[in-house]
């Protein structure tokens, strides 16, 4: 192959190298830029605000607390079962509900409901909560976090796009004060 005058093999390989590096930079850069921009992307914003169905009202009999799961609305298809999130649903009187995050307000271990004692108990450090989610004893400094809920027809829905955490106070229904 003959090269144009004044154009060496070194120049040729340099240009090919720059071209290939450009392709690699685009391949690596596009996902990174998409990730960085994802919090302001429209479709994710909509998901944060969406209402997620927990099931029909018949699944939560009056006076009882039942485990329910929902699909995290802010997921990608590759998240698999990690996007299935559990929560506790308390049907207070047939009309009023409380939906608690399953995570302990201390360090986030999943709490379990014990109807025999009417308590939520945390297996990690012995935190305990009353049936209304308020703190009963142990290391947690507050009660369980609650989701906003609404009833649509015969279905119970929660606003679950943002996980309730101490830093996301807007996503909880109310702060439950610790007991004296
Ligand atoms: S994580 Fe529940 S008491 Fe510590």
Query: pLDDT tens across 55-83, in order?
Result: 999 999 999 999 999 988 877 778 888 88
Contact by Cβ (8 Å): 97, 108: no
With cut-offs at 50, 70 and 90, classify the pLDDT of residue 169: very low
Give tens-digit pLDDT for 84-114. 899 999 999 988 999 999 999 999 999 999 9
Average pLDDT in the chain: 85
What residues line ligand 1, using a CB cutoff of 6 Å?
Answer: 104, 106-107, 109, 122, 124-125, 127, 138-140
Domain locations in the chain as residue ranges: 9-40, 50-171
Using the mean position of ligand 1's atoms as its centre, give its distance from the Cα of residue 122 in Å.
6
Q: Which atom of ligand 1 is nearest to the CA of 108?
A: 1
Residue 180 has pLDDT above 50, yes or no: no
pLDDT at 3: 67
**90: nearest Cα among 50, 36, 130:** 130
CA 120 to CA 128: how far, in whole Å? Answer: 6
CA 136 to CA 178: how far, in whole Å? Answer: 8
Residue 163 has pLDDT above 80, yes or no: no
Nearest alpha carbon, ligand 1 atom 1: 107
| Stretch 125-146: mean pLDDT | 95
| Stretch 31-49: mean pLDDT | 72
Output the CA–CA distances (angstroms, integers) from residue 72 to 50, 54, 124, in the order listed: 10, 11, 25
Pocket test for ligand 1, best of 139, 142, 144, 166 (most atoms within 8 A of CB): 139
H or E element at residue 17: helix 9-37
Q: Which atom of ligand 1 is nearest to the CA of 111?
A: 2
With cut-offs at 50, 70 and 90, classify the pLDDT of residue 42: low
Q: Return phi, psi of residue 157, to 5°.
A: -125, 150
What count of other Cβ atoms lies within 10 Å of the Cβ of residue 144? 28
pLDDT at 176: 47
Q: Which atom of ligand 1 is nearest to the CA of 139?
A: 3
Contact by Cβ (8 Å): 145, 129: no
pLDDT at 43: 54
Pocket test for ligand 1, best of 120, 137, 140, 141 (most atoms within 8 A of CB): 140
Q: Which atom of ligand 1 is nearest to the CA of 126?
A: 3
With cut-offs at 50, 70 and 90, classify the pLDDT of residue 4: confident
| CATH no. of 50-171 | 2.102.10.10
Contact by Cβ (8 Å): 176, 132: yes
The pTM score is 0.69
What is the residue whose two structure tokens read 């201390």?
106
């Amino acid at each position: 192959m003959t090269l144009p005058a004044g154009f060496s093999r070194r120049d040729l390989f340099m240009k090919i190298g720059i071209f290939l590096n450009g392709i690699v930079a685009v391949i690596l850069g596009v996902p990174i830029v998409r990730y960085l921009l994802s919090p302001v992307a429209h479709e994710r914003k909509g998901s944060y605000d969406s209402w997620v169905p927990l099931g029909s009202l018949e699944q939560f009999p009056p006076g009882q607390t039942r485990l329910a799961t929902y699909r995290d609305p802010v997921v990608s298809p590759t998240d698999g079962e990690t996007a299935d999130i559990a929560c506790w649903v308390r049907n207070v009187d047939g009309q009023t509900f409380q939906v608690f995050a399953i995570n302990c307000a201390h360090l986030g271990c999943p709490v379990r409901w014990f109807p025999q004692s009417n308590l939520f108990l945390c297996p990690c450090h012995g935190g305990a909560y009353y049936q209304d989610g308020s703190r009963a004893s142990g290391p947690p400094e507050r009660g369980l976090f609650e989701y906003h809920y609404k009833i649509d027809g015969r279905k119970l829905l929660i606003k679950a796009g943002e996980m309730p955490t101490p830093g996301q106070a807007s996503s909880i229904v109310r702060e439950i004060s610790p007991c004296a």
